Structure 1
């Protein structure tokens, strides 16, 4: 996991939450959407959304979990300060 990648993923999740909710106002709903999208994008960027053998999931876990968590956390924080 690289910090710049996690930051860009989190900010992308925040921006997508604005499009989905139709507002840039700070709210619990938009924060929840931003956090979920940041984690989803982080998981996808690390390759965890690929459906495959269990060995692939286990091998991707050390990268996937931190990137998904970091992406979600940064999206959460970014959505509170827009």
Structure 2
């Protein structure tokens, strides 16, 4: 169940990364440049979402839960970047 609660952050992070790529590149046309920016932005947004959860657990004193959730940060980054990349390939 813990893995699911971290991975479900990847979808909104990936979609936000794709939207951010439109703002950064100034276009919504499909291109390899925008796809590269989208993948990076999606991974960055995934990192922020997942690491925020881990930090929040640590702050409230759930150190064991934070330690268990920490490895999922990398998975969220990869999945969010992939979602942003795939989404950037469509209009």
Q: Give the TM-score taking structure 1 as reference length.
A: 0.79
Whole-angstrom distance in 2 between the partners of 1:65 and 1:31: 20
Structure 2 regions of 5+ residues with no counterpart? Answer: 1-5, 56-66
| Structure with the greater alpha carbon radius of gyration | 2
Q: RMSD between aligned alpha carbons? A: 1.7
Structure 1 regions of 5+ residues with no counterpart? Answer: 51-58
1:77 counterpart residue number = 86
Q: Give the TM-score taking structure 2 as reference length.
A: 0.72
Kept in 1: contact 2:7–2:72 (CA 8 A): no
Runs (4+) of structure 1 moved beyond 2 Å? Answer: none
**When the two structures are aligned, how many residues end up with a matched partner?**
72
Whole-angstrom distance in 2 between the partners of 1:28 and 1:61: 32
